[in-house]
Amino acid sequence: MRYPKYLINAFAILGVASFIFLACSAGETAMNEDPIENNGDNGGDNGDGGDGGDNNENPPIQNNYGKYQIVTNSSESMTYVNTTILNTETGQVSLYFSRSSESYVYQLLRTQNIAN
């Protein structure tokens, strides 16, 4: 059975319009649920009797990517290696020292919190 061209075109236009409508509405919903975009309020209830926000203006940490910054330096002959580690979440800086370039057994020299 052959369908008229206008019927096939009408369903094609309906499909494209539905796809665009659904894509735009899904994007708008995802944007409204982003805690960075709306200051931590995702519209849910967190049990505190409030509006569902997280009671502070910081967005929740989703992962630990970028939490630590690590710098390593050594002598030219590799007789010692210094490694400095910064925890960007807490501001704690740790300095490690290794005398041997073969075993790389590190010893903690000092720890300091630079956030305060």
Taking only the tens place, the pLDDT of each residue in 15-27 is: 999 998 888 776 5
For residues 59 and 41, the answer to whether their CB atoms sit within 8 Å is: no
pLDDT one-digit tens code per residue, 14-73? 999 999 888 877 655 555 555 555 555 555 544 454 444 545 556 666 766 778 888 988
Q: What is the pLDDT of residue 93?
A: 93
Task: Select from 61, 53, 57, 56 the least CA-distant residue to 33.
Answer: 53
Q: What is the pLDDT of residue 55?
A: 53
Q: Where are the domains of the chain?
A: 1-60, 68-113
Q: Which whole-number Å values give the CA distances from 106 to 43, 54, 67, in the listed order?
A: 47, 40, 21
